[in-house]
Amino acid sequence: MNQDSMDTTRAVRSRSLETEAVHAGREDLAALGLHAAPLDLSTTYPSCDSRAEAARLDEFAATGARLEGPPVYARLDNPTVARFEEALARLEGAEAAVAFASGMAALSAVLLVRASQGLRHVVAVRPLYGCSDHLLTSGLLGTEVTWTDPAGIADAIRPDTGLVMVETPANPTLAEMNLDAVAHSCGSVPLLVDNTFATPVLQRPVEHGARIVLHSATKYLGGHGDVLGGVVACDEETARDLRRVRFATGGVLHPLAGYLLLRGLATLPVRMRAQSATAAELARRLADDPRVARVHYPGLGGAMVSFEVHGDPHRVIAGVRLITPAVSLGSVDTLIQHPASISHRIIGEADRRTGGISEKLLRMSVGLEDVEDLWHDLDAALGAADGTRSGVTGHSAALGAGLSARPSPRERGPQRAGR
């Protein structure tokens, strides 16, 4: 990083998250005579001085440092993607960020980096996103995983442990954990936190001791269900290793995706807070509904709600009309899906149960629609699933995040869902 960049970084540290979301990665536009960030779709760039290019490529191969000067080839770097990486690093409070073609490509790169250093063992806490769980369990990348609960992390670490991985709030149960305590248990082993559900609006894991922060950028960072991507926020040393793996394996983020993700970051705080307020209200109503057995909603807040029904969850999926029955999350429209059938189907039934993923569980990603319209749709779908008439009314709780997940009045057991 040159002196001008360092001065710019120092100058913006006191900015609010909302301001950073709008301006990070764009500070040079006015000097360039531009207002919107440019989209660079080039796959290759002129290299008139081949000796100088050889020296730059040698430096990248040795260090993984971002190339100074003009780009060389799109698999090495892209100016549009670099803007998104800079912006996301700033929002997460990290030194750097490296973007990939998907969240799974990003996680794969992290695992490959650690395995290349002889550190193939991973300690992980369930539940995780289903494909993350599968990647670790299958050993497809030569890794070995030990599953444990947060209290068992320190005892599970071995000399060849390269990573501790957690997701909080977790997918799909929204279980939370104390990141400060988890980071302390990791000792010198890097802690990777999947921050997809919380986003830097609600949680910045680096501030709690995490060294690596993973996002499926497809979700809230993009925010509109029209872009696929992944990104890792981390220290510069880790970023250099990740860039070399990205170059070697080719899991690059397309420039158009980088452009859309940078644009998505600008509205991320506004979207997350509006969606979270609606989600909290829906969680309250679901918790009071006798057709619902249990509601999971994190104390951190957020736009995700999971709930278990007494009736047939598949009939709820089939019964919605306004809400979209689809996998994924984080879009401006509300989505609902059955994790045991789709997002976590790839995990064995016993392991799903270990992670708290029951056959009755539904996961809902709350969008920007009006809360009353969403509730009307949910009410009708729940009625169809339970064989009762729809039309539950009388819910007027104030909006706001922070509702603790709890069982509905029909459930007599003392145990509370979630945390």
Choosing from 15, 66, 75, 315, which is the catalytic residue? 75
| Residue 244 is a catalytic residue | no
Three-class SS string for the chain? CCHHHHHHHHHHCCCCHHHHHHHCCCCCCCCCCCCCCCCCCCCECCCCCHHHHHHHHHHHHHHCCCCCCCCCECCCCCHHHHHHHHHHHHHHCCCEEEEECCHHHHHHHHHHHHHHCCCCEEEEECCCCHHHHHHHHHCCCCCEEEEECHHHHHHHCCCCEEEEEEECCCCCCCCCCCHHHHHHHHCCCCEEEECCCCHHHHCCHHHHCCCEEEEECCCCCCCCCCCCCEEEEECHHHHHHHHHHHHHHCCCCCHHHHHHHHHHHHHHHHHHHHHHHHHHHHHHHHHCCCCEEEEECCCCCCCEEEEEECCCHHHHHHHCCCCEECCCCCCCCCEEECCCCCCCCCCCHHHHHHCCCCCCEEEEECCCCCHHHHHHHHHHHHHHHHCCCCCCCCCCCCCCCCCCCCECCCCCCCCCCCC
Which is the catalytic residue, given 56, 83, 126, 129?
129
Which of these, 371, 367, 356, lies nearest to 405 by C-alpha position? 356
Which position among 77, 83, 133, 194 bears the catalytic label? 194
Annotated catalytic residue 220: no
Could you confirm whether 194 is annotated as catalytic? yes
Number of Cβ within a 10 Å radius of residue 18: 15
Helix axis angle, 103-116 relative to 130-138, nearest 10°? 30
Q: Are 259 and 39 in contact (CB under 8 A)?
A: yes
DSSP bridge partners of 305? 364
Closest-CA residue to 419 (of 306, 335, 339, 341): 306
**Structure-block tokens of residue 134:** 């599968």
User: Is 75 assigned a catalytic role?
Assistant: yes
Nearest to 278 by CA among 372, 394, 201, 169: 372
Q: Which residues are catalytic?
A: 75, 129, 194, 219
